[in-house]
Amino acid sequence: MRHIPKLEVRRLRAHVERSLDGGRLDLLDRRLHRLDQLRRPLREAVAQHLQFVVKKPVVRHGILLRPLYERAPARLRYPAPVHTDLLLMPFGATYAQMREAAVVAEDAGFDGIWTWDHLRDADYNSGRVPEALVTLTGIAEATSRVMLGTLVLNVANRHPGLLANMAATLQEVSGNRFILGLGAGGGPSLPYAPEQTMIGRPVPPDRVRAAQVAEAAQVLRHLWSGERASFDGEHFQLRNAHGYPRPEVPPPVIVGGWGPRMAGIAGRHADGFNTQAGHPQLESFAEVARREHAASGRNPDDFLLTVFAGLSEPYVRADGSARAALEHKGVDRLILLTAPPYYLDEIREAGRMLRA
């Protein structure tokens, strides 16, 4: 099934709602008539996103009494299918291996390609950790359909001014396929902290790093707006900033985290949240994030909930209970992790199971 960007759905929904508000049922039917030109799976997916149901028209004495499409009651608002992505773990990998695996995954039917953001290989000391954004830029040129994402960029690795430019460039190269995952990085006690301390950079406490993520997300929005912007944060500042690249479609910002604090930051300042698929508090985190998203003046239905897990059969069986549970919880994207040397036959088989 073709991926339907939420921005596309949002624009179509706006047309639909204007027609409903104006009582123009004839105009509504004309605007949605193009759905009937599409393949049935795509048509049904759009209808689910729009929260409409397709009805048989009722015509009496030549008068249309009920349109082809009606707003669905709440009980009929079924969850949309979960998009399934592949994360290529970079430790010990070469760019050539990652590129080949990405191409195979796209051909196999996966919806997206992601990678981690690290400066060194803390696990195997292989001396190979391809940089996340450079790698995804290369993969963007090698693919045409899959979304591309970072899970997640460490806020300590790039000033948000630099990141705004890099992300806007990758968005242009990829044809608006980039999802910017952003996070607070590992704490002082985790094995990834030395990649900062070894080069003389501090690893602040969790509270400080979380605040940096919140500010960085706001700085990105300011710089992508194309307007002159000032921002007086505790960690990042802007002084009449202007002239930075303005992406045609700003990349969605997904904040990664393990608790309600990061879920709240995601809801207030970002477009989505990411955590572990099997986290016992997943639904609670989603509720916190969507509540904050609504409080910020945005539509909580547009908020993206993404989760990660290992590449395994329960998550790639299209009719499996694990996937059904994620759909029920409102998950938009399931990101499955695989490590080098990336067994290509395994990726192809997973794709076959997804399409079964």
Domain final position from 57, 76, 95: 76
> Does some domain include residue 1?
no
Which stretch of DSSP H or E encloses residue 272? strand 272-276
DSSP one-letter string for 182-205: EE----TTSTTTHHHHTTT-----
Query: Are residues 278 and 200 part of one domain?
Result: yes
Q: What's the chain's length in residues?
A: 356
Query: Are residues 100 and 39 part of one domain?
Result: no
Query: Are residues 153 and 215 part of one domain?
Result: yes
Domain final position from 37, 54, 76: 76
Separation CA 268–CA 278 (nearest Å)? 24
Burial of 56 (0-12, 13-18, 19+ CB in 10 A): exposed
Inter-residue contact 329 to 282 (CB < 8 Å) = yes
Range of the domain at 51: 6-76
Instruction: List per-residue pLDDT tens for the chain, 356 residues long.
Output: 444 455 555 555 555 555 544 544 444 444 444 444 444 444 444 444 444 444 444 444 444 434 444 443 333 334 568 999 999 999 999 999 999 999 999 999 999 999 999 999 887 778 899 999 999 999 999 999 999 999 999 999 999 999 999 999 999 999 999 999 999 999 999 989 999 999 999 999 999 999 999 999 999 999 999 999 999 999 999 999 999 999 999 999 999 999 999 999 999 999 999 999 999 999 999 999 999 999 999 999 999 999 999 999 999 998 889 999 999 999 999 999 999 999 999 999 999 999 88
> Does some domain include residue 94?
yes
Amino acid letter at 242? H
pTM higher than 0.75: yes
Query: Are residues 280 and 146 part of one domain?
Result: yes
Query: Are residues 234 and 127 part of one domain?
Result: yes
What is the tally of structural domains in the chain? Answer: 2
